[in-house]
Structures are given as C-alpha cells and as structure tokens.
Amino acid sequence: MSERLNNVKHLLYTAAYYPEEIDRVLDKKEPCFIKFDPELGYVLKNYVFRDGMDSTLSSYVYHRAGYRKMFHYRDQTCRINTYGNSFTQCAQVNDGETWQEILAAHFREPIRNFGVGGYGAYQAYLRAMRIEQKKHLAARYLILNIYDDDHLRNIDAARWIRVAWVCRHLPRGRRDTYPVHGFPWKHLRFDIKKGCFVEIPGCLKKASQLRYLVGKENYYRIFKDDQVANLYCLTQGGEIDEKKLNELEQLADAFELKIDLRSKKTRQRDAMKLHQIYGQRSTMFVLDRFRKWARDNHRELMILLSYSAGIVQDYLKNGTRFDTEFLDFLQREKYIFVDTLEKMGEEFKFFRGNITQFCERFYVSRAGAQVFDHFNPFGNFWFAFAIRKELVDWLKPPPPTYRY
C-alpha cells in the first residue's frame, strides 16, 4: 500500500537533502553530473550513467559552450538550436543516438542540442536567452521542445519537492544511490494583484548555500509557505492550513476555474486541475515572451510537444489529453508547432500489438537519475522523422538534402 501524504511538513521532510547528497554535488575531486547554477538550478557536465536500454551505459559529453556532443556536419555553420528538457537532451541514449543527430545526418547540416533534463519551458527559455546573446552560438531557427511535466516545472521553486516525493521509496544518502538535482531556480508565479505572471529568483546565490537545504527542519523552514508546494500537497491528498487554502482559492478565481478545494471528495482532483492550468498558463506566458523576442531579433521559433509513455498510453486508450487548453492556445495564437501525441496516435493505427507493446518499442525503462522514461534510440529515430516534414517546410532554404 502506498504511503499517504499528511501535510506540507511531511512533504518537505521527505524532500530534504542528506549531507552525503550535497557533498557529492560539491566534491571537486569526483565531479557530479551537474553543477549548481543560481538562475537555472543546475547545468549538466560530462558523465556516464547505466540508464540505457537493457541496462547499458549511456555517455553524455558536452561542448564547453553547453551543447551535447555533435557528430554530423559539426564543421559547418549551424542555423538550428534546440532547447528544452530531457526529451530534448535525449536522456538514456548515447551522444550519437539523439534525434538531433539523426536529423543532422539526414538533413546534411548540424543541429545543436542545448536540452537539459529536468528543465521546464521557462528554464529552457532562460537558457536560450543566455546562448542566443553570443554571436558564435546564435542561430536563426530556434526549437523549444515542451514535455508534459514542463508546465509544472515553470512554477516550481525547487522541483525536488515533487521529485523526492515520487521517489520517496528509493534508497538515498549513500554515494552509490539516487543522484539528486532539482535545486532552487528562477521560476514563475501569478501575481493576483497585478493580474499577470512575474519572475521569482531562486533562493540560493552560490553552490555552498546548497548546504542550507540539508536536514528536514531546514528544508521545511525554507519552503513551508511556498504556494506551489502547498498546492502540490493537496494534489497528493494532504492537508494545508486555512491561509494557504484561501490563497489558492483566490488563484482559482483569477483563472476563472470552478473548483472546490474545501470538499474532501473533490479536493484532490480539483487541486490537480488547478495545478495543471497554472502550469500551462505559465507556459503560455513563456511562449509569448519567447516569440516576441524571436521576432524582435529576426529569429524563427518552432514548438515541439513531447510526451511520456503514461500520457501516450492514456491517449491511445481513451482519446483524451490533459493539455487541451494549451493546444487550443497554440492553434489560436498561430504558433508553429508539432504535436507528437497526435502523431503517436497515427502511428498506433498501423501497429498490430497492444498499447503496452507499442510503447515498449519507443521508451526505455526508468533508471538512474531519470524520474520518467525516455525514448530509446528507435524512439528518437521515430521522433526525428515524425517532425521531419514540418522542419523541412519551416527552414528557408530547406536542408541541403531537400534542395533542387
């Protein structure tokens, strides 16, 4: 029987870091796979994980500029930069097995991969703003890949609050166990008085301050009043105090959502609805800002939508999706985007097995530092060719392979 969440204290006690976990991040002799960053939470470093298909080792190598190792046409001028999450980074496969490298080989032009596992759309946007200011790295065509959990990450003060609860039964603390991440970062919140989203800086300024997050009481003291931590507590069946409940009801009113957070019968379901809408509207804010910047700076922006195996399975079984409001926004505002959930549905029509067998073809089992499953090499190949036509039509001139 799964453990039931009682309250915010229970949630944050579970999320608190152990001394050994932070020591591993700060150890200069045996470098960790991440490096603390006060704005982005962390950036990636070279590492090898046993997280690949069939429990194989995956190699992750990064250029000093921050993009993942390139193989195809890397000596040529790059006009495509990709940003986003672990489905952009292509977690759980080797460097040459990413969808960017598959497309680069096919297109006969380089594609840079600036994806970072665990980032939301907002953190990916902030990373893009850093990179695109540098002339030697700037590209005309920018791709932002949005994963189903990315909406919620935008509004996390520290994503580890949610990740640690999901992984609460895994062994932690020793050097040979779960590699931690999800540090405090710059994030978004909706300001009810102003009626708009605002940017909130992370609560830590330097790596040594990560030690402030060690220990249950320390972690609880820092995040006990956090709005989204309290909202997440409700989504997991926990209780929160009256003041925080009132704040969330005001937020729901601002979003014009008809929900009931008072009823024990509907509270958890309605809290999940509020959490999702909150996240998706924060992504809308990010995209409007990103597109304006792109237009002002003579860049082109394309949005890709990626999904976990669980979301794909639900869609194939029931034909329903959690992000209809966000999809309506993309269509209404005429964003250039590719919906790979719909493409998964089209692919399944030609498959003779069941839904589980279908997903097993594309995804790797959960492993290592990865909280969610990712595409295996075949899945990345499928993804590359699922978005191929839209990319070819978007690029002017088209890739060398398609020029006549």
Domain range enclosing 139: 29-219+275-402
The bridge status of strand 34-37 relative to strand 187-191 is unpaired
Percent of the chain with pLDDT over 70: 96
Domain count, the chain: 1
- The 10s digit of each residue's pLDDT in 190-246 is 999 999 999 999 999 999 999 999 999 999 999 999 999 999 999 999 999 999 999
- Asked if residue 102 is part of any domain, the answer here is yes
Residues with Cβ within 8 Å of 59's Cβ and at least 6 positions away in sequence, in order, are 48, 94, 95
Residue 257 lies in a domain: no
Q: For residues 239 and 267, give the distance between their C-alpha atoms in angstroms, rounded to a whole number.
A: 10
pLDDT in tens, 279-325: 999 999 999 999 999 999 999 999 999 999 999 999 999 999 999 99
Question: Edge to edge, what strands does the sheet with 141-147 contain?
Answer: 112-113, 80-84, 141-147, 300-306, 337-339
Helix-helix angle 8-15:227-235, to 10 degrees: 100
261 part of a folded domain? no
Distance CA 332, CA 221 (A): 43
The structure tokens 């800002």 sit at: 289
Identify whether 68 is part of a domain.
Answer: yes
**Residue 255 included in any domain:** no
The alpha helices in 255-266, defined as continuous H runs, are none
For 253-289, what is each residue's pLDDT tens digit?
999 999 999 999 999 999 999 999 999 999 999 999 9
Q: What is the CATH number of the domain that holds 342?
A: 3.40.50.1110
* Mean confidence (pLDDT) of the chain: 94
Does residue 132 form part of some domain? yes
Query: What's the pLDDT score for residue 366?
Result: 63
- Asked if 152 contacts 166 with a C-beta cutoff of 8 angstroms, the reply is no
Rounded to the nearest angstrom, the gap between the alpha carbon of residue 300 and the centroid of all alpha carbons in its chain is 22
In angstroms, the CA 136 to CA 357 distance is: 44
Q: Is residue 239 part of a domain?
A: no
Torsional class of 108: left (φ above 0), alpha (ψ -120 to 50), beta (otherwise): left
**pLDDT of 22 higher than 70:** yes
Q: What pLDDT is recorded for position 177?
A: 60
Residue 41 near residue 48 (C-beta atoms within 8 A) = no
In this predicted structure, what is the pLDDT of residue 369?
Answer: 44
Q: Is the pLDDT of residue 178 over 70?
A: no
How far is residue 210's CA from residue 26's CA, in Å, rounded to a whole number? 9
Evaluate the omega torsion of the peptide bond into residue 397 and state whether it is cis, within 30 degrees of 0. yes
- The answer to whether residue 238 sits within a structural domain is no
CA distance 158 to 163: 9
Radius of gyration of the chain from its Cα atoms, rounded to whole angstroms? 21
Summarised one tens digit per residue, pLDDT across range 79-118 is 999 999 999 999 999 999 999 999 999 999 999 999 999 9
Note whether 141 and 184 are within 8 A (CB): no
Contacts within 8 Å (CB) and 24+ apart, 190-194: 190/251, 190/254, 190/255, 190/278, 190/281, 190/282, 192/250, 192/251, 192/254
Report DSSP state, residue 121: H
How many other CB atoms sit within 10 Å of the CB of residue 209?
15
Mean pLDDT of 17-38: 92
Backbone angles phi, psi at 373, to 5 degrees: -70, 155
CA distance 175 to 169: 17
